Amino acid sequence: MINDKRGVSPVVGTILLIAVTVALAAVIATIVGRIGVPAKAPYAILGVTAEDKDSENVKITIIHRGGDVLSVGELKVKAENSNKDLVDVTMNWAGTLFSAGEEASGTYTYGSNPEGKIIKVKVIHTPSGQLLLDTTVRIE
């Protein structure tokens, strides 16, 4: 009976098959587990000013005061007032990155007589959907 090895081969094969299945399941679980994980929002300290440009338009200036360097292509600036819904503001960025100490401005069409009015400004990091800035500002 010592030289009889007929039962060893099927047992070893079964153990190897189970090990390969478990390893493959772990790899697939890792890949699937990462699907749907939102992008991490950068950290940045932003400020905003708004000044009357003419009778209907307001110049919005976003100031980067510190934190992470932001990719301009990942940012969306929106503004609203009591007369208008939230709309995109086209910003004039100096380059493709927005770093501490830099400013960018754009024009928001408020409507007639914006002097002394308040607008709400939001800066959104589009990959993560997180608000980097959500504030109200008085038009000067």
**Tens digit of each residue's pLDDT (9 = 90 or more) over 48-81:** 999 888 878 889 999 999 999 999 999 999 998 8
Phi-psi map region of 34: left, alpha, beta (phi>0 left; psi -120 to 50 alpha) = alpha
CATH number at residue 119: 2.60.40.10
81-107 tens-digit pLDDT: 877 778 888 899 989 999 999 999 999
Examine residue 88 and state whether it is found in any structural domain, yes or no: yes
Residues 77/123, Cβ–Cβ less than 8 Å: yes
Examine residue 23 and state whether it is found in any structural domain, yes or no: no
Domain count within the chain: 1
Examine residue 125 and state whether it is found in any structural domain, yes or no: yes
6-50 tens-digit pLDDT: 666 777 888 999 999 999 999 998 888 777 666 788 999 999 999
Q: What is the pLDDT of residue 45?
A: 95
Examine residue 95 and state whether it is found in any structural domain, yes or no: yes
Examine residue 22 and state whether it is found in any structural domain, yes or no: no
Which residues constitute the domain of residue 92? 44-138
Q: What is the pLDDT of residue 5?
A: 60
**Helix, strand, or coil (residue 15):** helix
Examine residue 54 and state whether it is found in any structural domain, yes or no: yes
Angle at the Cα of 77 (from 71 to 83), degrees rounded to 5? 180
Examine residue 77 and state whether it is found in any structural domain, yes or no: yes
Tell if the pTM clears 0.75, that is, is over it.
no
Q: What is the pLDDT of residue 17?
A: 93
Report how far residue 35's alpha carbon sits from residue 46's, in angstroms, rounded to the nearest whole number.
31
115-131 tens-digit pLDDT: 567 889 999 999 988 99
More confident residue, 24 or 5: 24
Examine residue 100 and state whether it is found in any structural domain, yes or no: yes
Confidence label for 112 from pLDDT (cuts 50, 70 and 90): low
